[in-house]
Structure 1
Amino acid sequence: MLLTVGAEETPCAVLFDVFKRQAHMSHSELAESILSTAMLPDGRSVAAHAHDRSWLSRNVVHAPVDVAQARLFADFGYSGARLCMRLRSRRVRPMGAEEIYAMVTSDAAREMDSALEAAGEDARPYRNLLERIGANREYSAVDRAELALVLFVAAGCSGSATSAVRYTLSYEQRAFGATSPTPPSTQLASRLHAPDAENSGLHLGLIRVRDGYIVGKPCWVDPTGEGCVVGFLATGEANVCDVEQDVSSCHLRLWFEDGSWWVEDLGSANGTWLRPAGEDGERRLIAGERFPVGPGDELRLAASTSFMLVEGLPG
């Protein structure tokens, strides 16, 4: 069940709280920048209620995520860009671009993570996109601040990590002509130290491997489904995004077909390598071509992320 009225952990509550604590912006000031001009049954616009503390608290700041209405909010990109400019240009306590970026990527990012998870969301795509925005050296400090703020606002207003990520990627494409590229593996070097599955119901699981040790639980792929996509910004219930930054947004696909499990590199920036079970060597997959895989095989995505394949049943 999603959070109830008054819970401080809703994504929208985090949004308002962070702006109040770190940007010294009152709830009504923030509401002026993010509420829509749509008309309500009382004959007034949503934005006209920005200074009605009781209405704002009940219907926006502390409203349960499951009853939040998208029509209450203006376009996230417009709101984020407007807030960025407002924070940088105000006469009292102006904030620099780096300060704005830090505001939404440090403690605030962890608070938003927790709020999204509490609302039943997988927050990893949200965190991953924040990292990728910060790693894009082609953007100016102002560009990074604006994009991070757009993502933060979208997450707070929508209560959905998936929706926020998809919106921000679309906004980035419209505003900057492209999305942040997958960084080369060399940029992360310093950070790195088949029975019949369809009939038996056996799933193929991906288990993360770090420094030769298995970590975490398997991410199971259903042989009767459409498979899964593994990538830095792979959204969707069956997809896997527990990867490092040099892994592409949608890096590879794993699925069951014709009695076998298959893997395909989706044109990743830094490549995929397959080490078959019982073999020492590995080979790089050719993008766009499918390769058979099975339990015991190991997949390495770029320089930083490895998965062991196992077979079993979820739970």
Structure 2
Amino acid sequence: MASLKEVRGRIQSVSSTQQITKAMKMVAAAKLRRAQDNIMRMRPYAQRLNSILANLSQGNAEDSVTGEYGVVREVRRVLIIAVTSDRGLAGAFNSNIFKATNALIQERYADLAAAGNVRVMAIGRKAHDYFGRRGLLVGNHTNVFTNLSFDTVRVAAEEAMDAFRAGQYDQVVLVYNEFKNVATQIIRTEQLLPILPPEAPANAATTSNLDYIFEPSKEEIVLTLIPTSLKIQLYKAVLESNASEHGARMTAMDKATENAGELLKALKLTYNRGRQAAITNEILEIVGGAEALAASR
């Protein structure tokens, strides 16, 4: 059994840890509000952009896949963009991305991976470290969350787009956490390149009857929107991941604070029992000594 001094030291240590986790929870909650506002503003824009592409593609299915970003080739080399965080202490947030990426490689690209034709572009330091140790890493985008903005994400998107156009990769897949609520993050696996034909909106029958005047041509508009849409798609995924990270960290720190409280109760109970036992032993020793002294007289 641990001594009272050791138990007292553990109580102080757990109490300090509880204060840290409580502070981290509050910081994560403050950051989550900002990140949630950002993604809530981005979602309608991204959805509207996809809707515009769908409307422009009505009547000609090839418009949605024309140009160099829609070229479908035999899949021989694959690039996976894995979005994680820069820091840990967020529960299973990062490990879920690792598991999903590994599962994707094993289930869909096992033969290509065995031939060394699968590479991972890491957005976030945790993915950079994880896939770097496994020899799959390409590119360095660990500074995205330091100053999160469209410009910083655009660099990564353009790198993937240029590599696809140059024929370095035949397919680009995106793996990230989608923000649902504070306690729930959903792993999403989406094909970024070659671009898939956008889904027609629910009111396609209505919009297809409208007479549009295109200036410049319809083809030029589509080809201009496609690169922008790809960059927005990656930026939205990073914003989703950022909000999910803070939600996961807030949940993890809340649980850690509760666990620290339960551990403190157990330690204090153990300490009080040990102290009572020590006091009882001292009383018994005093009484025993007194009786021995009285008997010697």
* TM-score interval (norm. to shorter): under 0.3
The structure where strand makes up a greater share of residues is 1
* TM superposition score normalised by structure 2: 0.25
* TM superposition score normalised by structure 1: 0.24
Between the two structures, name the one with larger relative contact order (CA 8 Å, sep ≥ 6): 2
The structure where helix makes up a greater share of residues is 2
